[in-house]
Amino acid sequence: MYNNKQITLFTLLLSLLLVTVSVQLVSGQQCESQLNSNSFFIQPNLCAWTVRTGLVEPRTIRVMSNGDILVLEKPPASQITVMFDSNKNGVIDGNEIAVLAKQANLNHGLTVQGAYLYATTPTTVYRWKYTPGNRTNLGTPETVMTGVPANSPNIMNGHSTRTIEFVNSTSDGFYLSIGSAENLDATSIRSRVVKCSFDLSAIPQGGYTYSQCTVFADGCRNEVGLRVDSKGRLWGVENGMDNLNRADIGGDIHMDNPCEEVNIFTNEGGFYGYPYCFSEGKLAAPYGKGNRTQWAVSLTDTTHTDVWCDNSTNVGKPVFCMPAHAAPLDIMFNDLSTFPPPLNRGVLVSHHGSWNRKPTAGYQVVAIDTDPTSGLPIQGSLTKVIGVPTDGNEWNIRPVSLAILRPCGAYTECLLFSDDNTNSVYAVRSTLNDNTTTGSTTGSSSITTPSLSSSLFIIMIVLSCLIFIN
């Protein structure tokens, strides 16, 4: 039999073990060491976890005033799902998710404005009457607008996402982004952001038509991410062309050109270059003239020459250059007050990741700092928040859409991003400054927290064995 001393020691160890395991569970719930078995890079003092998996190619996510998270899932689901963390454990459990709305061919665009939820297919804008907190099926949508140019209404080829963002108030109407039909089209007719200033309190039967919109920003190849800032300016992130080649300035220059653009569209009706001009990311000496220089795409086009392209009267330049082929899909303004500087200011951009570049670019969420006076991005300030562990490789998490959730489980706030490759929504939070009421707030990121607990666990088992051998 065991003596009293052994029993006391055993009880003590058992309690310690239970404490260790419960600490691991609390932090583990909201900061797992792995995202779907992926290794990843994350900035110090941040940690990440899976909020929900098993979605169908989730695209745009938006957080409502009550904390409900809307997510658009692509076909074949073709639906808008609402997720609500009722038990505040930082993850969406099976009883915390419901289908809000279904409509054929929903594939990306989603926003809530006034008393309505708006979502898009390649050709059509729909809306449903919606108040945050409603988690029942919203039924059949109303058609807001039809006739958006697309290669085909049902086949998602060409650039088929139609991002929707309201101008400011509902009465100002909305912006809609349409991407090119091909890698390099003959004109910009498909490559623009339009402004649709409709009376949305009296939509005609069958909806308005696309031809009633006006061109707001022309020559934008595929401006997937759109956001209006607090000053009412429209920002966008643009996906540039593939396989760029110009014999006289280096031949195959596609690895670093064109740069993926951050734009601010201050000139209503302005032209931004595509398909005639491209933004220099990097050209080898002696050709290079620096980031954002505008160059002609074609040597045989005698109208849109290098001189024409780099004249700002003709072509609006991007405000910032991101790596070529990073595939930016969303941009949002960063007010994550708990994140360590400079990750608490400027803008956040999701990079879906490239196919037209080896080593690859993208597969990350980045922060770009902005100048407090001008409000413009600071050149060279791009910082990876979370992403592929080694730049140049693929990551099977491909960030799409960004949102900030407050509170986030037991914590003050977190950055959410969707991924249409592992069909998940992930969260990133600060481990330093967050004033959580439960769980661990200090010390290590998720990568080390569970392994520390596991080591403690193993040490205790070994100690227990030693006691009983005695």
Binding mask 411-430 for ligand NAG (x = CB under 6 A): -x------------------
Per CB under 6 A, 303 contacts ligand NAG: no
65 binds ligand NAG (CB under 6 A): no
Q: Among 44, 76, 232, 341, which residue interacts with ligand NAG (rule: CB under 6 A)?
A: 232
Does position 337 interact with ligand NAG (CB under 6 A)? The reply is yes
256 makes contact with ligand NAG (CB under 6 A): yes
For position 296 contacting ligand NAG by CB under 6 A, the verdict is no
> What part of residues 80-139 is at the interface with ligand NAG (CB under 6 A)?
129, 131, 134, 136, 138-139
Nearest residue to ligand NAG on Cβ basis: 232
Our finding on whether 323 is near ligand NAG (CB under 6 A) is yes
**Residue 267, interface with ligand NAG (CB under 6 A)?**
no
Rule CB under 6 A: say whether 70 interacts with ligand NAG: no
- Over the chain, what HEC string results? CCCHHHHHHHHHHHHHHHHHHHHHHHHHHHCCCCECCECCEECCCEEEEEEECCCCCEEEEEECCCCCEEEEECCCCCEEEEECCCCCCCCCCCCCEEEEEECCCCCCCEEEECCEEEEECCCCEEEEECCCCCCCCCCCCEEEEECCCCCCCCCCCCCCCCCEEECCCHHHCEEEEECCCCCCCCCCCCCEEEEECCCCCCCCCCCEEHHHCEEEEECCCCEEEEEECCCCCEEEEECCCCCCEEHHHCEECCCCCCCEEEEECCCCCEECCCCCEEECCCCCCCCCCCCCCEEECCCCCCCCCHHHHCCCCCCCCCCEEECCCCCEEEEEECCCCCCCCCCCCCEEEEECCCCCCCCCCCCEEEEEEECCCCCCEEEEEEEEEEECCCCCCCCCCCEEEEEEECCECCECCEEEEEECCCCEEEEEEECCCCCCCCCCCCCCCCCCHHHHHHHHHHHHHHHHHHHHHC
Q: Does 321 bind ligand NAG (CB under 6 A)?
A: yes
Q: Binding of ligand NAG at residue 259 (CB under 6 A)?
A: yes
Q: How far is the CB of 376 from ligand NAG (least distance, A)?
A: 13
| Residue 374 interacting with ligand NAG (CB under 6 A) | no
Binding mask 150-189 for ligand NAG (x = CB under 6 A): ------------------xx--------------------
**Distance in Å, CB of 386 to ligand NAG, minimum:** 19
Footprint on this chain of ligand NAG (rule: CB under 6 A): 129, 131, 134, 136, 138-139, 168-169, 231-232, 256, 259, 281-282, 291, 311, 313-314, 321, 323-324, 337, 379-380, 412, 435
